Amino acid sequence: MQALIDRFFRYIKIDTQSDPENEDAFPSTEKQWDLAHLLVKELNEMGMSEVSIDENAYIMATLPSNVDYKVPTIGFIAHMDTSPDYTGTNVKPQIHENYDGKDIVLNAAENIILSPDYFEDLLLYKGQTVITTDGMTLLGADDKAGITEIMAGMEYLLAHPEIKHGKIRVGFTPDEEVGKGAHKFDVDKFGAEWAYTMDGSTVGELEYENFNAAGGKVIISGKIVHPGYAKNKMVNSMTIASEFINALPANEVPEHTEGYEGFFHLHTMKGEVEESELYYIIRDHDMKIFEERKVLFQKTADDINSKYDGNPIAVEIKDQYYNMREKVEPVMHIVDIAEEAMKNLGIKPLIKAIRGGTDGSQLSYKGLPCPNIFAGGHNFHGRYEFVAAESIQKATEVVVKIAELTARKYKN
């Protein structure tokens, strides 16, 4: 357990926040290289084979098969970057051993409290070792817990050759949090028949459905005039921006939806009289409804433009990824193996749809079916993020067990 915690801390203390504004660069931030170089060093030191890192910071390595019969090559994948939504600079992890089910004071000076009254999932980890921040940064369990679990799983298999397994590939990607983590992932080079992303939350999560996703950028142009002489002349872009925001369905937002319900999420806005910018993510599990959402988004702009001279609103919509279910259902045995691995370890599988996406979403459409497995963290992308050390340990055990079960199932 302590070795897992030490490894996790080593990774989260490296700032790897990605940048959605730096669209053309891979990775989008230079600091992601800091973790990438450390991982390459550690993969080599533990004895992994075919360790490589390319010009875009994609890392791949191999654990060779230790059986004398053919087993499909499988993979495990996690991403190195952390969310651009909240700072990952100077992460100061805190350990709360034998968590008592009460409020956790993250930062007394700032009165920042992680409470089970608000975050009820905390109570799932009563009696366990809960890891948090000091309330001033995110933690980075998304997805450095996943990296920890894959690295520790490979190290364990190398140290225990009595556990039989086929060839295993591991991959670590940049820029997942800005929607392009799989853009330059070389599926042919990776060479696996299927893989698993270690990027879920609660212990037991096993997911092969996710949102269809698009990003929506809205630019509103105005006209700046001295406010004392602005009648019939000023066009305040922020006023038009608020009109656009209010024209979308009020209840179809993340804070009012759950399960398979989609949404429009305004995550960033910037504004002055002369120009305002709105950045949305558009999500739905159903492809037909997803397409209808994009049409409505554009129509909202068109309707408002018809009321003003000069068409002040310009909209850009870009698809980001699609529901992996279509690509995974034809090979459902890969989900069955993960489910069986969890059951063998006494973990209750929680098979559900992701209200988000993973690298596996895009990889599935690139020819690498890629369900998602829990990494253990909660409250991603903010100061209240936490993970139990026991969850990291369980996920590591799942990695090992999947490798073992896959080899066993293909034994003659």
Give catalytic residues, as residue numbers: 81, 176
**Which positions ≥6 away from 79 have C-beta within 8 Å?**
143, 146, 172, 173, 174, 175, 176, 177, 181, 199, 359
Look-up of token digits 């003003």: 308
Q: Copy the structure tokens of residue 283.
A: 């999500």
Q: Count the Cβ atoms, other than its own, within 10 Å of residue 3.
A: 11
- Angle between helix axes 141-159 and 32-46 (nearest 10 degrees) is 10
SS3 string, the chain, reads CHHHHHHHHHHHCCCCECCCCCCCCCCCCCCHHHHHHHHHHHHHHHCCEEEEECCCCCEEEEECCCCCCCCCCEEEEEECCECCCCCCCCCCCEEECCCCCCCEEEECCCCEEECCCCCHHHHHHCCCCEEECCCCCCCCHHHHHHHHHHHHHHHHHHHCCCCCCCCEEEEEECCHHHCCCCCCCCHHHHCCCEEEEEEECCCCEEEEECCEEEEEEEEEECECCCHHHCCCCCECHHHHHHHHHHHCCCCCCHHHCCCCCCEEEEEEEEECCCEEEEEEEEEECCHHHHHHHHHHHHHHHHHHHCCCCCCCEEEEEEEEECCCHHHHHHHCHHHHHHHHHHHHCCCCCEEEECCCCCHHHHHHHCCCCCCEEECCEECCCCCCCEEEHHHHHHHHHHHHHHHHHHHHHCCC
- Whole-angstrom Cα distance, residue 320 to residue 20? 13
Q: Count the Cβ atoms, other than its own, within 10 Å of residue 373.
A: 26
- Whole-angstrom Cα distance, residue 337 to residue 342? 9
